[in-house]
Amino acid sequence: MLQALGLNALTEGVYRSLLAEPDWGVDRIAANLHLPEAEVREALDELLELTLLRPAVGSHALRAVSPEVGLTRLLARNQNQLLFRQQQLESARAAIAALSAEYVDRRPDDEMVLRLDSLEAVRDRLEELAATATRECLSLMRGGAVRPDSIQAGKHPNQLALERGVVIRSIFQDSFRNDPDTLRYARWLADLGGLTRTVPLLPIRLVIVDRSIALIPTDPSDGRRGALELHGEALIQPLCALFDELWRSGTEFGRPAPRDDQDLTGSERALLKLLGEGHTDESAGRKLGLSLRTVRRMMQDLMNRLGAESRFQAGAQAVRKDWL
What phi, psi does 182 have (nearest 5°)?
A: -65, -40
Q: What's the confidence (pLDDT) of residue 110?
A: 56
Kindly report, residue by residue over 284-299, the tens digit of the pLDDT.
888 888 888 888 888 8
Q: Is the pLDDT of residue 240 over 90?
A: yes
Q: What's the confidence (pLDDT) of residue 271?
A: 84
pTM: predicted TM-score of the whole model, two decimal places: 0.60
Q: What's the confidence (pLDDT) of residue 137?
A: 94
Q: How far apart are CA 16 and CA 10, in angstroms?
A: 10
**DSSP code string of 75-99:** HHHHHHHHHHHHHHHHHHHHHHHHH
SS3 145: coil
Average pLDDT over residues 30-37: 91
With b for 16 or more beta-carbon neighbours within 10 A and e for fewer, the 99-129 pattern comes to: eeeeeeeeeeeeeeebebeebeebbebbbeb
Pairing mode of beta strands 136-141, 206-209: antiparallel
Average pLDDT over residues 186-213: 89
For residue 149, name the pLDDT band (cuts at 50, 70, 90).
confident
Tell me which range, 3-7, 47-51, 245-249, is most confidently predicted by mean pLDDT. 245-249
Q: What's the confidence (pLDDT) of residue 209?
A: 94
Average pLDDT over residues 100-120: 69
Tell me which range, 23-37, 151-165, 282-296, is most confidently predicted by mean pLDDT. 23-37
Kindly report, residue by residue over 49-87, the tens digit of the pLDDT.
888 888 776 666 778 888 888 888 888 888 888 888 888
Q: What's the confidence (pLDDT) of residue 59?
A: 65
Do 225 and 217 touch, CB atoms closer than 8 A?
A: yes
SS3 199: strand
Q: How far apart are CA 225 and CA 197, in angstroms?
A: 27
Q: How far apart are CA 204 and CA 200, in angstroms?
A: 13
Beta bridge partners of 171: 140, 197
